[in-house]
Amino acid sequence: MSLTPRQPLTLSETSLPPAPPPAPKPTPASSLDIFTGDPNFMTSLARGLIVIQAFTQQSPQMTISQLSVKTGLSRAAVRRCLYTLTKLGFAGAEDGSRYSLRPRMLTLSQTYTTSNTLSTAAQPILERMSAALRESFSVATLDGEDIVYIARTQVSRVMAVDLHIGSRLPAYCTSMGRVLLAYLPTEQLEQYLAKAVLTPHTTRTIISVEKLRLALRNVRRNGYALVDQEYEVGLRSLAVPVYAASGRVVATLNLSGNAPRLSVLEMQSRFLNHLRNAANELSAFLN
């Protein structure tokens, strides 16, 4: 008796359930959903801020359609935001279609830096250190999942990106970010680790939560963070905490340099005490 070869099962015969549709990618606009129903939340202002933050060094000019896609806001909402910003002098479009921010936007950052005690106190300390040591120094604070530069001096270009006051970098793979994460209260750190996306920027980047936990424990034990080419190849940085009177870490101060020029040993032996002394000076000013 001959046997008929078994035919492969069709999709209908296997009765497999259809694959679930992919989850929609979160957008800046979707972050506003948690405020739905809050009578005190000004949605129009929030949308305007989302549009402002959509402009970056990589995307300094965008059309309404491009901004709509990037922010997740409707074209009508983007158009109203841009109309308002243009009327107030904070944005404009030279060709009538591609919008960009205007110099008046600088007044917002200037208002922050001149009114912020930490930023005001840090800048002359960094400038004095740069003049004496001929290296680039920065002070940053934690904002969400990023660090934000609030003071900086630069004697040479050490990164491919142009860093300045207001620049943002991911916390998990930078020395300043590691310091700020290491001294977070346990509950806040767990919240960060639960949602952080650890993207590999170089082959050295720590992208395991457990390895990041270990690195943060080492920061607390040593009192400083040294990150070697995890964010950018050729960049090595060293950071220390800045304490408030309450004992809480409110900022971090760092040195960034070219890896081939500054060895790990030299950073620790030559610059660590300078960083700690400057951080103590800044802490004393705040207290």
Q: Is the pLDDT of residue 60 over 70?
A: yes
End-to-end CA distance of the chain: 95
- Roughly what angle, to the nearest 10 degrees, separates helices 209-222 and 186-195? 150
Q: Is the pLDDT of residue 117 over 90?
A: no
Domain residue ranges of the chain, discontinuous segments joined by +? 42-105, 116-285
For residues 227 and 178, is the Cβ–Cβ distance under 8 A?
yes
What tokens were used for 118? 């930490």
- The reported pLDDT for the residue numbered 95 is 80
- In this prediction the pTM is 0.70
Over residues 183-221, the pLDDT tens digits come to 999 999 999 999 889 999 999 999 999 999 999 999 999
- φ/ψ of residue 40, rounded to 5: -95, -5
Candidates 113, 48, 109, 114; CA nearest to 82 is 48
What tokens were used for 242? 């800045």
* Whole-number Cα distances in Å, 189 to 118, 133, 159: 23, 34, 28
Write down the CATH number for the domain with range 42-105.
1.10.10.10
CA separation for the pair 257, 267 (Å, rounded): 9
CA separation for the pair 21, 53 (Å, rounded): 30
The pLDDT of 238-252, averaged and rounded, is: 93
Over residues 61-116, the pLDDT tens digits come to 999 999 999 999 999 999 999 999 999 999 999 787 899 999 888 777 766 655 56
pLDDT band at 8 (very low <50, low <70, confident <90, very high): low
- The reported pLDDT for the residue numbered 9 is 54
- The reported pLDDT for the residue numbered 216 is 97
CA separation for the pair 239, 261 (Å, rounded): 18
Residue keyed to tokens 């506003």 = 32
CA separation for the pair 69, 66 (Å, rounded): 5
**Who has greater pLDDT, 20 or 60?**
60
Q: Is the pLDDT of residue 143 over 70?
A: yes
The pLDDT of 111-127, averaged and rounded, is: 78
Quick count: other Cβ atoms within 10 Å of Cβ 90? 19
Candidates 234, 229, 232, 173; CA nearest to 198 is 173
Q: Is the pLDDT of residue 12 over 90?
A: no
**Who has greater pLDDT, 161 or 236?**
236
Q: Is the pLDDT of residue 10 over 60?
A: no
Strands 146-153 and 168-170: antiparallel
Highest mean pLDDT among 6-10, 24-28, 115-119, 201-205: 201-205
CATH of 116-285, picked from 3.40.50.11540, 1.20.1260.10, 3.40.50.2000, 3.30.450.40, is: 3.30.450.40
Q: Is the pLDDT of residue 236 over 70?
A: yes
Q: Is the pLDDT of residue 22 over 80?
A: no
CA separation for the pair 211, 128 (Å, rounded): 36
H or E segment to which residue 92 belongs: strand 91-93
Least confident among 23-32, 99-108, 248-257: 23-32
Sign of CA dihedral 150, 154, 159, 162: positive
The pLDDT of 18-42, averaged and rounded, is: 82
Single-letter amino acid, residue 175: S
Candidates 95, 104, 97; CA nearest to 78 is 97
Average pLDDT for the chain:
87
Least confident among 15-19, 35-39, 98-102: 15-19
CA separation for the pair 44, 258 (Å, rounded): 44
Q: Is the pLDDT of residue 157 over 70?
A: no
